[in-house]
A and B are shown apart, each in its own frame.
Chain A
């Protein structure tokens, strides 16, 4: 646990020293989402209807942008070798790095999401579900993305490969993330909002659990190979 916190605090430390890393993903998220009203016209009902999809897709792309850096710097400057040789279990180290990644990209996205939801005329019920869905879904994005980030270390076209590997695996998160908000928006009675969104949220939770299980194992295996 101490080792876990050590790595998290170091990565946060590094991120705060390079503030551009911290703000890039969230700026991309807001700017891209703001393009849609221009492209589709400012009709409020239409925007409210497509808001869940736009928020999720842009959030997903914002996370995708930040993935390459997740392990690459450590790989290039030799820190990864030292990390593998250190007494910390590599599985724990992977989880710690992913957690730090989520804190610096996923969390800002969640904080920015209500702003975009407001711009798209989303009602408050849907916004609540959006936040719950993002809290459940964005950690999975970091976790699944980390696998691709570790697998492509040292690859010839790592930056192009990551989207190819990761986007198919992101589709379930996207489907249920959007599904939850759609279900909330389509429920006519006020009390049924949570009940309607529930199955989608549970599935998002299931994806999170599975990726929590798989990522440390696959990530550690891939990291060990990358320095061999």
Chain B
């Protein structure tokens, strides 16, 4: 009876993860160190914003991650709903806290950058508001996922929410172009090429890569942990079934 072979094979996934993990972790440490060094020592102060521009090297990558992780969750949710792949559910579940963390960082570091530049910790402009909504979407996703007795139902409900909430992502991306706001417009991800100096662009990009690698490391460990939990649940059930 080979019926169970047709499901995802978690053992193969675990084996692959264990092989990849040391390499990704090493790369994360390297790129993080290089990014930090460059953002403090090789990049110049901004001619308008002075040294405070150094907050950019964590603020902008955090904001990228906030959107990137949410997009990953939305893609995983589509896979979960259409192909019912169990690993997609685990990936979405494992990603949400990481995404929420980075969204919080984007908001907090933005606030710390905004205070000296704009004179206010917070302004209610389109970009900030839409990122705040994103943060609440992450919280709602996590709450919904854990709100059901049956994990399966939580996964599916959260998947629908993630897909519905995805409308927010283009709004965040283009809010600075559509509305004239205090927040500065995009300077890296532009159709006609980045508009900032290479001495600032490089540390920014390297930090961006470092954050993404960090996400992959934490994500893989979390999925691994979830898989072990699933195995534990199976053992516990077996004990109950035996007593039946």
Contact = CB atoms under 8 A, between A and B. Distances in A.
Interface of A: 147, 151-152, 154-158, 161, 164-165, 167-169, 171-172, 175, 210, 214, 218, 221-222, 225-226, 228
Contacts of A156: 147-149
18 contacts: A147-B160, A151-B144, A151-B160, A152-B147, A154-B148, A155-B147, A156-B148, A164-B143, A165-B144, A165-B161, A167-B136, A168-B132, A172-B171, A214-B167, A218-B160, A221-B81, A221-B160, A225-B160
A164 B136 contact: yes
A161 B147 contact: yes
A178 to B, nearest CB: 12
Contacts of A226: 153
Nearest to A219: B160
B167 A151 contact: no
A155 B144 contact: yes
A168 B156 contact: no
Given A147-B164, A154-B153, A214-B167, A168 B147 contact: no
A183 to B, nearest CB: 14
Contacts of B185: none
Contacts of A214: 164, 167
Query: Which of B81, B129, B161 is most buried by chain A, counting CB atoms within 10 A of its CB?
Result: B161
Nearest to A207: B167
Contacts of B164: 147, 169, 214, 218
Nearest to A226: B153
A218 B147 CA distance: 18
A141 to B, nearest CB: 15
Interface residues of B, number: 23
Query: Which of B148, B153, B157 is most buried by chain A, counting CB atoms within 10 A of its CB?
Result: B157
A154 B148 CA distance: 7
B160 A210 contact: no
Contacts of A157: 147
B167 A152 contact: no
Nearest to A151: B157
B63 interface: no
Interface in B133-160: 133, 136-137, 139-140, 143-144, 147-149, 153, 156-157, 160
A163 to B, nearest CB: 10
Given A218-B160, A226-B153, A169 B147 contact: no
Contacts of A158: 147
Interface in B107-141: 129, 132-133, 136-137, 139-140
A222 B157 contact: yes
B59 to A, nearest CB: 22
B129 A171 contact: yes
- CB-based closest 4 A-B pairs: A168-B136, A155-B147, A165-B140, A168-B133
Nearest to B150: A154
A65 B164 CA distance: 22
B148 A151 contact: no
Given A152-B157, A154-B153, A228-B153, 6 more contacts: A161-B143, A161-B144, A165-B144, A175-B129, A218-B163, A226-B153
Contacts of B45: none
Nearest to A175: B129
A214 B149 CA distance: 27
B153 A164 contact: no
B163 A168 contact: no
Contacts of B148: 154-156
Contacts of A151: 144, 157, 160-161
Contacts of A167: 136
Contacts of B165: 169
B126 to A, nearest CB: 9
A156 B153 CA distance: 12
Nearest to A221: B160
Contacts of A154: 148, 153
